[in-house]
Each structure stands twice: as C-alpha cells, then as structure tokens.
Structure 1
C-alpha cells in the first residue's frame, strides 16, 4: 500500500506544532521516543524526523514526498521547491542585529562589516539587492555570541520575541524577511502519493479555516435584521431562525477572528443582543 512520506523537524517548537496539526487532521502517529521514522495508524502516512536544514535536500532527492518546515529554511536552502500551504504557526523573522550601544543610521552600516550567520544565501542576496558588500562568517549554531567575542560586527539570525538578542546585548536593526511554517512538496512525488496529499491537504485546510474563524450566534430585532446581516461576512449567508419572542430572530454566522472585535462593536451598535462566540474546530467545504 502506498504511503506518503512527510518530513518534520526532529525536535523543538516546529516539531510539536507540526505533530499537533497532523493530530488535528485526525492522523494518529505511533510516536516512540528517539524514533527517526514513525507510521500513522489510521492514515497512509510515514513521518521522518529530520534536521530542519537537511529537509530541502531530502525533498529534492525524493526521499520524502512532503515536508513541514520554516519558510526561512526554504528560502535559504530550498530553491525551486514549491510552497503548497501556509500553516500560520512558528512565525518569526530573519533579521540583522548589531551591538546595542552601536549607532545605526541605515544599511550602509554593514558596508565592509563582518556578519555572522547561519543564513549566508539569504544575507548575500539581500545585501546584493541593496548594493552592500559585507564579509560573511558562516556559523552553524548560536551566532549571538559572535560580536561579544570579536568574531563579527553584526549577526543575521531568526528572531521571535527578541529575548535572545536582548540577553546578548544586541538590537534588531533590519528585518530581512518574515517566516512561518509551510507545507512544501517534492518535485519527484508520485501520482499515488499526490492523491494521498490531496486528501491530507483538504484536512489541513479545514483545520486552518477553523482556527482562523469564530462561530457567532446573536439575537436581533426583526426591524434591524437587514442591517445586522449586512455586517456579517459569513460563509455564504447567515442562518436566521425565529425566536419564541415575537419580533426577534436568532442569527448564526462565521467571521474571521482577526476582524472579530470590530464587527462585534458594529453589531452591538446596530441592535444585536445576546452575542455568543464559539471556537470552530474545523470548517469543511
């Protein structure tokens, strides 16, 4: 029986969130400690636990069919690999940072400077586009210490909260790109594996749509119903049911969580009452 092979990061936050996504898609992984490969019990899928930086090569070689990895890694090492789904977690940015007490007046600061980084291709392409020439010092591992020991004048690294930079007396001065977890596919994927991928991607999309949405129930006076309905984005159109109290209806709809509070304020002003908001586990179209 054909199985689709998916690579995920061996450890860390991206590993946990990738497995959580698969679990939300109804995929149950037989996951033993220190395993490098595990099979799903209820879906034709095998998980390969790999170093993040190695995953693009495994995709190019067709060792795995698909992978969940950071977009920053794909930009650095995965040229010509296609993103088929943005997953919305493990968000970060790839930034340039310099010692906290150093004056900074723009990108010209980096002209002729030494930059320590694990992302040499990303830095080189970014600075070349800006017309800046710098000396790159490639470090595989923690680069934050490099300026403190005189190895570099600046660093380029991924930044989430910025706490690591702060602890190492550095400040972020340029955001080169933003990144999140993405689903990408091997150019050598077979037709059989592609069929399985289509099913898995459908499940992933249903989970992501649910995460991005809220289910809203409210009571509306019938004389204000038209205005209230016009404020609800919904899926196709809201559901409207009569209430036991004459002249009132119950309205059910779905809205994007990012615009949620703005819409709620407008609904209240339009006369909506008893607004109830519920999380959505999945949305299937």
Structure 2
C-alpha cells in the first residue's frame, strides 16, 4: 500500500536544507521524499543513507587540524576549492566525481558509519571514540604526521596521589570502593571506561566534560582526568601528572574510509587509491632532498665504490651514476660522472662534506615532492582487509 506524506512535514524534518544558498535538484528532492515516505516521523532518516553516485570526502571544518589537513592536501597537489567560505561543500579539481564536506571531526566519523560520507581525515582519537570499534571503519593511512597527541590519564601531584606513579599503584589504593569510586572527568566516554576496565580499576565513576578538564581535581569535582595531551605543559601548570601505564592511546591525523563504500559505491576505491598514493609518496619525500654532483673517475663502477664506502651517501637504493661527456682536442671524452642521490635533509651538510672528501664538486640540492615506490604498502594492506 502506498504511503502518503506531507511535504511541509518533510521540510520540518530537514530544516538545514531550507537555506536559499543551497539549491535543490529534482533527484535530490525525490530521494528526500522517498526517505520521508519510508519514515514519516523522520526518526529513521539518519539510518537511511541517500542514494547517490558522487563520492563524499569529510574534512575537519575548523581549527589547527583543519588548516594542517588543507596544507597537506595542497602539498599533494590536491588543493581544495571552496568558492564560498561559508559553504560546507567544496571540491578538489584534480579528482572528478568527488565532493568535500567540511564537518566537525566527530561528525565525520558518525557520517562514515551512517554512510553519509565515504572517506575522511580525522584524528585517530576521534576514530577510536566515535567509531567505537565499528568494523565498517577502515584506517587507510595511520600516520599523516600531524595532529600528534596522546590520550592520557592524569592525577594530582599532591595529597593522596603524591606518591602514586603508575596505574597499578592507582588501582591498589584502598580508597576506591563501590560507595566511593575513583571519579574521572573526560570527554572520552567510550575509550576511557574501556581502558580503565582493562587496567583492572573496578570502582570508577565517569562524568563528561568538553573543556577545562584540568581544573576539575582542584575544584574537588573529580579525582583524575582523561584528556588529550600534547606537550604536557597545561597539566604541569595545573599541578597534574601523567603516570606509568596511563596512556590510553597515541593519536595523529589518519585517513579513514567506510568499508561498505569501498566495496559497493562506484569510484570510492579508485579515489581512495589515488589519495593514498599521493599521501604516501609525499610523506615519504618529506625531509629528503635530491643531491646532484660531478665526480672525476675512471669508470662508473669505480665512482660507485667510492660513494658506497660513505655511510650517508647510499641514497634510497644506491646512487644513480651517469657519464658527463665533454669535448677535448676534438674528441668526446668522459672525465667526470654525474651522481644523483637522495639524503635526509638533517644530514645534508655531512653528506656534502663526504662528497667533497671523495672528489665531488658542483653540488646541487633540490627539494623532493614525491617518492613513489613500485607499490604502495598500505594499498596492498587495504586490499587484503577488503578481501580483494
């Protein structure tokens, strides 16, 4: 039997789509109508992902994580084009059939789970907290090398905690009972309790807060906190300390995807592959420089032997050596060989000194943008996870 619905009720269910800055397309309205017909109350709309063909990429909308994410993508020649900074939708010209959606990090994870996003970049702490072990979430790249922090348990330096320096010692304190549990305030209500249960703390109560957690013990409303820590300065300034065994997890920015989308939505796997390749190649090149120099020698092999005897000149797989041709007395001769190697930027001066010591001259140095391997290891791992 056909189900009827009130279009006005539909607009009440979807107030965020009534803005004149967001044009409606007929297929989009039809899809909304079908969803509203399936659930006139609107209660199940979140559980019914829209049918669509475009791939959706979720990025953090604000803060340092957002800035560093856009910077990384730009360095990978994947600049995000946002026509209007007030809009939440953008694109990446190099990737067709892709929409970029700016969202809060926790909403990126939630919408990956619901199917409203296909891929995203967030902190691993956010994936752990809001993903809650959901097997549909796949971490495609686990180390994007920014947003580094740790989720850690911290206790006061004073009072009954003065001589407590480990989670084991904390668990052995006789103060914690069913009537008087250890009180912890945190914004991580999933991974926090899970961690302490695994550590053997049975008598614990949790309260939730989003900011200024460091003040809670001094105010007497909590005994300890579980919060993100970067340098630890804020903890020290509030007379708190981390303890041995108290790190819940280490976090940094990660590239994450929906397993269902990778397996079923057209184009998601291919776009994920290209983004992953660019990320891996760029991050592999970060901190490396190309060094080109001329070196006098009798043969390429003889020059190679001199270079490989120097510990910092081996490059990625060994030096590339080619003859330098010049004309002398009307004849083409080879007196020099050009060598090309990659060296870490932090050891550049040492490498230049070693080149000079074995006859290198005319040294040129240039930055690297990409280092593509024969195959991306994380791509092979992803295909294995997907059973492909």
TM-score bucket (shorter structure): 0.7 to 0.9
Q: Does 1:188 align with 2:260?
A: yes
What residue number does 2:290 align with? 215
What residue number does 2:331 align with? none
Q: Does 1:61 align with 2:61?
A: no
Q: In structure 2, what is the Cα distance between the partners aligned to 1:90 and 1:179?
A: 7
User: CA contact under 8 A between 2:295 and 2:336: conserved in structure 1?
Assistant: yes
The one-character-per-residue Cα deviations of 1:14-45 (angstroms, maximum 9, x if unpaired) are: 11111112222222323232322222344222
* Aligned CA-pair RMSD: 3.0
Give the SS at the match of 1:114.
strand
Which ranges in structure 1 are unaligned for 5 or more consecutive residues? Answer: none
Q: In structure 1, what is the Cα distance between the partners aligned to 2:224 and 2:349?
A: 42
Q: Does 1:82 align with 2:138?
A: yes
After superposition, residues 77-226 of structure 1 pair within 5 angstroms as 77-78=130-131, 79=133, 80=135, 81-85=137-141, 86-101=143-158, 102-111=162-171, 112=176, 113-133=182-202, 134-173=204-243, 174-189=246-261, 190-218=265-293, 222=297, 225-226=304-305
Shift of 1:236: 3.9
Q: Does 1:28 align with 2:79?
A: yes
Q: Does 1:281 align with 2:350?
A: no
Q: Which has the larger radius of gyration?
A: 2
What residue number does 1:40 align with? 92
Shift of 1:195: 1.7
Distance 1:269 1:217, change over 3 A: closer
Higher relative contact order structure (alpha carbons within 8 Å, sequence separation ≥ 6): 1
Q: In structure 2, what is the Cα distance between the partners aligned to 1:72 and 1:233?
A: 38
Which has the larger strand fraction?
1
User: CA contact under 8 A between 1:60 and 1:188: conserved in structure 2?
Assistant: no
What residue number does 2:21 align with? none
Which ranges in structure 2 are unaligned for 5 or more consecutive residues? Answer: 1-51, 177-181, 327-333, 374-388
What residue number does 2:321 align with? 240
The one-character-per-residue Cα deviations of 1:155-185 (angstroms, maximum 9, x if unpaired) are: 1111112222233332222333211111010
Q: In structure 1, what is the Cα distance between the partners aligned to 2:341 and 2:54?
A: 38
Shift of 1:84: 0.7
TM-score, scaled to structure 1: 0.85
Q: In structure 1, what is the Cα distance between the partners aligned to 2:218 and 2:238?
A: 8
TM-score, scaled to structure 2: 0.64
Distance 1:263 1:75, change over 3 A: farther
What residue number does 1:18 align with? 69
What residue number does 2:23 align with? none
Q: In structure 1, what is the Cα distance between the partners aligned to 2:308 and 2:220?
A: 63
